[in-house]
Each structure stands twice: as C-alpha cells, then as structure tokens.
C-alpha cells in the first residue's frame, strides 16, 4: 500500500514555480524537499507542477485544455458562509461520526485529500487529525493550514493536526492507544461522480498519483482495530460497500452516503 515519493514525483510532478514572486525561499525549499526543479516564474510546464500563487500553493497542469488549478483553501468565503448558514453540525458527516451536544469526538481522517471533510468536522467542534501519504498533497494541506493560522487563528481549521504517513501503518501503530475515537475513510473511487469541482480535483490527483487504488480492505481493518467508537466510510450513494464486515448503519444523502461501523455499543442515530 505504501507509495513513496521517488516514484510519484519522478513520473508526475515537473517542479515548483513561484508565480506570485512572494515566497521565493519557500518555493525553493519545497522544491528541494520534494526533489524536483525550481521553475522560473514565467514557465508553464507541459504537465503537472506546484505553483506558489497569491492564493496559496496550487497543483496545476500546464497542458492545453487541462483542468484548472487545485488548492486546499480553508478560508474560502463561499465554504465559510455555507458552514455559518447551514451549521456544520447539520452535515451528514457530523451525524455519522456521532458528534452531539456535549460530545465532540477525536477524529482521524485517514484519507485526508484536500481536507474538506476535516474542515467540516473541525467547525463542528471535533478534534481532527489528518493523515495523508502523498508528499505533494501534504504540501497543499500544510500551506492551507499555515495560511489559516496566520490570517484567522480563531478559525477551527487552525487547530487541525496534519501527519504525513501511510494510514495503515499509522492506524496499526496506534491501535492499542485508545486515543482515536473515530476514523474516517474516503477511498479513491474510479467511477465517482460528484460536483465539477471534485471531478477537477480527482482528474489532477489521478494524474499525480496514477491509477493505483488504496488497499481498502486492509485500510478498513486497520481502522476498525484502531477506532474505539466507530469507523465512518464515505462512498458515492450507489457504490458498493468496502470489502469486509457489513456497516452497522448507513446515513445517506442525495449523492453521497456514510457507512458507519460501530466498534463500541452506543446509541444509534
């Protein structure tokens, strides 16, 4: 299941560019860390690259007709308005993790992606740890968290913890600790059909990470052994459940559902 950056970057990422000309040292340090070239600001590579923009670090594809830039943005005004208007606690994901008045669980998002689910849970008052194994995606998340902490330290996203690691290894190491109450999983699904924004994100991620699919059975088993309360798996509404035990119950929306696996007896929503 492990994916090491030497193969990921060598095949997919062409370099790091600093188009904003504001963070030259940071761009150079990131390029060195990832083992890829630092690109001139005016260069538009014919493929995937990271770009330090005035909005933050972005994953871009310079080829004609490619999807637009993808970045993690925990200060996106539209998203924050939605969380304020609807209330994070009304989100299906928040119900699925068992958050309620007087109980905000400690949640590990073991497939962090761009951190959208973690952001919702943080705004609902949960303590959130993000696990991500791709160093490129980790760089995007780290940049987003740094920007939140600098601009809005009171934003719940500022309190999220990010760990670069293989999720199965991490979950297995912490299985006996009792510290993890809930584990959330959102495995890559090849036929997923959500919003256009998600499709754009997934297009670039598949180019970056290849067609490799998570060993979801092993991931689910590691999560079940680690979570002291429950495991929550996010799936497209009509997708099959992951290989393994049947979910204890399911919370469904219009396009997405959450399969909930109880690891400890507690009231069912």
pLDDT of residue 88: 57
Q: What is the pTM of this model?
A: 0.87
Tokens of 189: 């699904």
pLDDT (tens place) for every residue of the chain, 269 residues total: 233 333 444 458 999 999 876 665 689 999 999 999 999 988 899 999 999 998 899 999 999 988 888 999 998 888 777 777 655 556 899 999 998 888 889 999 999 989 999 999 998 899 999 999 999 999 999 999 999 999 999 999 999 999 999 999 999 999 988 889 999 999 876 544 444 445 666 778 777 776 555 568 899 999 999 999 999 999 999 999 998 999 999 999 988 999 999 997 665 44
- The β-bridge relationship of strands 48-53 and 56-61 is antiparallel
Give, in order, the Cα–Cα distances in Å from 259 to each of 91, 95, 109, 208, 253.
15, 12, 15, 28, 12
Q: Which residue has the tokens 């601009």?
A: 151
Report the C-alpha gap between 92 and 84 in whole angstroms. 16
Concatenate the DSSP letters of all residues of 116-185 into one string. Answer: HHHHHHHHTT-EEEEEE--HHHHHHHHHHHHHHHHH-TTSGGGG-EEEES-HHHHHHHTTTT----EEEE
């Amino acid at each position: 299941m492990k994916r090491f950056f030497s193969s990921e970057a060598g095949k997919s990422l062409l370099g790091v560019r600093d188009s904003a000309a504001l963070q030259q040292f940071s761009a150079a340090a990131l390029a060195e860390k990832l083992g890829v070239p630092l690109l001139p600001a005016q260069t538009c590579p014919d493929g995937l690259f990271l770009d330090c923009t005035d909005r933050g670090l972005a994953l871009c594809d310079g080829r004609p007709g490619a999807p637009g830039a993808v970045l993690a943005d925990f200060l996106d005004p539209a998203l924050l308005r939605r969380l304020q208007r609807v209330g994070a606690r009304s989100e299906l994901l928040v119900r699925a993790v068992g958050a309620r008045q007087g109980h905000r669980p400690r949640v590990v998002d073991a497939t962090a992606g761009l951190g959208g689910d973690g952001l919702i849970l943080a705004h609902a008052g949960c303590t959130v740890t993000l696990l991500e194994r791709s160093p490129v995606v980790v760089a995007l998340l780290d940049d987003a968290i740094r920007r939140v902490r600098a601009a809005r330290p009171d934003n719940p996203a500022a309190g999220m913890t990010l760990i670069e690691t293989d999720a199965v290894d991490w979950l297995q190491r912490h299985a006996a600790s009792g510290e993890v109450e809930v584990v959330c999983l959102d495995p890559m699904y090849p036929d997923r059909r959500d919003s256009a924004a998600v499709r754009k994100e997934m297009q670039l991620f598949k180019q970056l990470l290849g067609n490799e699919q998570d060993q979801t059975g092993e991931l689910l088993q590691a999560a079940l052994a680690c979570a002291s309360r429950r495991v929550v798996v996010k799936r497209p509404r009509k997708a099959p459940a992951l290989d393994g035990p049947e979910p204890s119950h399911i919370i469904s929306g219009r396009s997405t559902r959450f399969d909930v696996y109880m690891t400890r007896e507690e009231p069912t929503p």
